[in-house]
Structure formats: C-alpha cells, structure tokens
Structure 1
Amino acid sequence: MLVKAIMIPFNQLRCLSVDNTLEEALIIIEENRLLSLPVVDGKQFIGVLSKENLYEEYFKNYCGQSKIEFLNNKVKNMVKTKIMTINQELPIQDAAAIFITSKYRFIPIIDNTNNLLGIVTHQSIFKEYQKIFGDRVNELTIYNCNFKGTIAKMTDTIAKAGGNIKNIVLMDSNVMNLEEIHLSIDCKDFEKVVKALKKNSFNVRTPRIDDK
C-alpha cells in the first residue's frame, strides 16, 4: 500500500501561512490541540512550526525582549525548513521506518513542484497495520527457510484443517535467512490448525487464540 491511500489530504489540513504572526500560529496550534503544523506559502510547502521550538527560541534568543515583540514575529522567520518530505508513491512500510528512526510527528507529502499534497501520521500507519494483523483473532507466526513450495504447502495444510487465512504478512527476520510469516486465521478449531501445521514440520511460534 502507498502513503497516498492513507494520507490526510491538503484540503483537510490545518496549515500555517508564512504571513501568520507567531501569536496567531500559537492560537491555531492550541485550538487544534496539536504540537506542530505544516507551514505553506499558498500551496508551496515551506516547513514546520512547532510549539516546542517556539518556546526554545524565545528562551534562548528573545528572553530579553517582551513577549509581545516576540509574538509579533512572522512565522516565516521561525519556521523549520530542513524537514524530510516524501512522495505520495512511497510504500507505507518505508514511511513507518522513518517514524521509527526519527522524532517526526507527521511527514509532509509533496509533489515534484513542492506543493503540499497532504501528510501521513503515526496514527494513520498504525491503523493500517492493525487492519493487517487484525484485532482479537486467531494468530500465529511461522518461521520459514524460504524453500520452494513452502507457502503452498502451508496454505493447503491450513485449509484441510478447516482454517481460512484472513491476513498473511511476510517479513525478513534478519536471522539465518529465516522469513517470519504472520497469519490471522478464521476457524472453529484453532488448535487443530496449529497441530496440523506442526505435524507437517512447520515451525509454529506464538499462537494466540481468539477467546471472545
């Protein structure tokens, strides 16, 4: 899945203008109960302004001035412009990796003319992964050495044991060339499915039974 499928589009975003004063910016941030917002000039993405950075800037460089003088500054003078942006065709797993290794609260999505198309957030990615792995379902993980025909044999074993695969996710375990295969399975007798897989020499780990 690509980030364009889960992004918050520009027309639904609350953005700051480069011509807003810092006072106006703080009011908008507070009213929307956010910590930071994108800054635009028309539709052109300029950067990000965060409440944290504003406080840091004030106490570091403007403490001798009045608050009124500081708050009358324009957003364009305080915006953080060195922000990572992404293309709307980026896979969501790559966006998730950016969040893991950074402190970004959201990632701006721009086109090839630097227009802001939207943003992707932690929450939107988490919701998609939750859909993949399911909620309160029969789950298990199989470690696989990527031998030819293994996936076909595994799905056939599950079907014969009365299981129906709802979701399947393949991940590299980064250990001895093993793949992790995460499955959520709909069935009447989950233990029967697990036993059938083990009987057919599958390395089954961490089965979780839906007990609702």
Structure 2
Amino acid sequence: MLVKAIMTKKENLDLVDSNTKLKDSLKIMEDNKFLSIPVVDGDKFRGAVAKSSIYKYYFKHNLSKDEVLNNITVGEILKTEVPIINKSEHIEKAVSMLERMRISFVAVVDEFDNFKGILTHKAVFREFNNAFGLNKGERIVIRSYDVPGQLSKITKTISEEGGDILSIVIVDTKSLTDVKEVIVRVKSIDVENIKKKLKESGFKLA
C-alpha cells in the first residue's frame, strides 16, 4: 500500500507558516490537543513546531511570557529534522521512519516537493487494524510449517467449506522447527466445521 492511500491530506490539517506568532500556534495545539503541527510556507514544508519547543524557548530566554508568545514567530524555533517521504512510497518506509526517529508524523510531498499531507501513528495503527480484520468475522489461528503449498491448502479448505476469507496474516513464531502462525479472519455460518476440516487436513489450531 502507498503512503497516499492513508495519509491525512493537507486540506484536512491545521497548519501554520513561518511567520505565525507562537501565541497563535500554541492556541491551535491546545484547542486540538496536538503536541506539534506542520509548518508550511505556501506549498513547501518547513518543519514542525512543538508545544514543548515553545516552553523550552520561554524558560531558556530572559523574556516575559507575553514577549515570547506575541513577538516570536514559528520560524525562529521550528524543528527542521522532520522526515519527508514521497506520497508514492510504500507505507513500510514511513513506518520505519516513525519508529526509528520517534516522531509524531512524517511529512508527505509529491514529485515536485510540494507538501501534500502527513502520515501519523494513528493512521498506521488504523491500517494495521484493517489488515488484521479486527472486529470482523471469526478468528482462526493455524500453526503451519513453512513449506510450499501450505497456505494454498489452508485457503482451499476454508473456501470449500463456504468460508469467506476477510484477512490473512502470517506471523513468524521464531520457532526452531520453523513453524508459522497463520491468522485468518473468516466469515462463515459454520466456523466450527471449518476448524474441523482444517484439523482433518493435518493442521494444528492454536
């Protein structure tokens, strides 16, 4: 899946530019319970301003609260080390960035480096939830050796018994015997019969 499929688009975001006063950016964050927001000048992504950065600036400099909030602009304290990814990249790359850099979002751009949106942890978790088919159908966990043809055999057995496969996720159990867990979400009026047929086909169910 590509980043553009699950990113939050620019038009649906609260943004500030480099000239925005800290007072205004802080209000946006407090009103929406954000920890940080993107800084965009026109179509170009400049970085992010975080609530913590505003507080750090205030405590570090010999200025009053009003002076900091009313006179200092976002451009003076923005964080520029925010990773950027093309909207046509696969989400795995963005997930790696989120995990490795411990940030709240990855900025998304197009082929002209124009800002298009952001990809957040929440969006990734939502897609993860969809991939597992959570809250949909019945869950069957099958233990299978990592040999050719096993997955095909599983899906064939389920289909022949009238099961509608909603999702399949294969988990490496780190077993010395090279056993995988195949987690299948199935929609069926008789899941117990499917389980029975899988066992008869030689599979062990967890």
- Give your verdict on TM over 0.5: yes
Q: Percent identity?
A: 33
Give the Cα–Cα distance (whole angstroms) in 2 for the partners of residues 154 and 8 of structure 1.
37
CA distances 1:84-114 after superposition (whole Å, capped 9, x unpaired) = 1222123234433443444322211123443
* SS of match in other structure, 2:89: coil
1:88 equivalent in structure 2: 87
Give the Cα–Cα distance (whole angstroms) in 2 for the partners of residues 11 and 164 of structure 1.
38
Structure 1 residue 167 corresponds to structure 2 residue 167: yes
CA 100–182 in structure 1, closer or farther in 2 if over 3 Å, else same? farther
CA 168–13 in structure 1, closer or farther in 2 if over 3 Å, else same? same
2:195 equivalent in structure 1: 194
Give the Cα–Cα distance (whole angstroms) in 2 for the partners of residues 120 and 191 of structure 1.
40
CA 111–160 in structure 1, closer or farther in 2 if over 3 Å, else same? closer
* SS of match in other structure, 2:19: coil
1:210 equivalent in structure 2: none
CA 172–89 in structure 1, closer or farther in 2 if over 3 Å, else same? farther
Give the Cα–Cα distance (whole angstroms) in 2 for the partners of residues 90 and 204 of structure 1.
37
Give the Cα–Cα distance (whole angstroms) in 2 for the partners of residues 102 and 174 of structure 1.
27
Give the Cα–Cα distance (whole angstroms) in 2 for the partners of residues 156 and 54 of structure 1.
58
Structure 1 residue 4 corresponds to structure 2 residue 4: yes
Structure 1 residue 138 corresponds to structure 2 residue 118: no
TM-score by length of 2: 0.87
* SS of match in other structure, 2:86: coil
1:40 equivalent in structure 2: 40
1:208 equivalent in structure 2: none
Q: Is the 8 A contact 2:29 2:37 kept in 1?
A: yes
Counterpart AA for 2:191: F
Structure 1 segment 1-212 matched on structure 2, within 5 A: 1-59=1-59, 61-62=60-61, 64-71=62-69, 72-134=71-133, 135-176=135-176, 177-205=178-206
Give the Cα–Cα distance (whole angstroms) in 2 for the partners of residues 98 and 86 of structure 1.
9
Q: Is the 8 A contact 2:38 2:47 kept in 1?
A: yes
Aligned residue pair count: 203
How much has 1:187 moved relative to structure 2? 1.3
Counterpart AA for 1:87: N
* SS of match in other structure, 1:16: coil
Q: Which runs of 5+ in 1 are unaligned?
A: 206-212
How much has 1:175 moved relative to structure 2? 4.3
CA 42–123 in structure 1, closer or farther in 2 if over 3 Å, else same? same
CA distances 1:1-47 after superposition (whole Å, capped 9, x unpaired) = 11101111112221110011111211222233322100112111110
Q: Which runs of 5+ in 2 are unaligned?
A: none
Q: Is the 8 A contact 2:136 2:185 kept in 1?
A: no
How much has 1:169 moved relative to structure 2? 2.5
CA 4–162 in structure 1, closer or farther in 2 if over 3 Å, else same? same
